[in-house]
Amino acid sequence: SQQGEEDPQALSIQEGENATMNCSYKTSINNLQWYRQNSGRGLVHLILIRSNEREKHSGRLRVTLDTSKKSSSLLITASRAADTASYFCATGLTGNQFYFGTGTSLTVIP
Among 76, 101, 104, 106, binds another protein (CB under 8 A): 101
Residue 11 near residue 19, CB atoms below 8 Å:
yes
Q: Which residues, including other chains, have CB under 8 Å from residue 34's CB and lie 6 or more apart? A: 23, 45, 46, 47, 61, 63, 72, 74, 87, 88, 89, 90
**Which among 95, 63, 86, 80 has a CA at the least distance from the CA of 9?**
86
89 binds another protein (CB under 8 A): no
- Binding segment for another protein (CB under 8 A), chosen from 14-22, 58-66, 71-79, 88-96, is 88-96
* Nearest residue (CB) to another protein, 79 versus 89: 89
| Window 19-78: residues binding another protein (CB under 8 A) | 31, 33, 35, 41-45, 48
Question: How far is the C-alpha of 35 from the C-alpha of 41, rounded, in Å?
Answer: 12
We find the least distance from the C-beta atom of residue 42 to another protein, in angstroms, to be 4
**Residue ranges binding another protein (CB under 8 A):** 1-2, 31, 33, 35, 41-45, 48, 88, 90, 92, 95-103
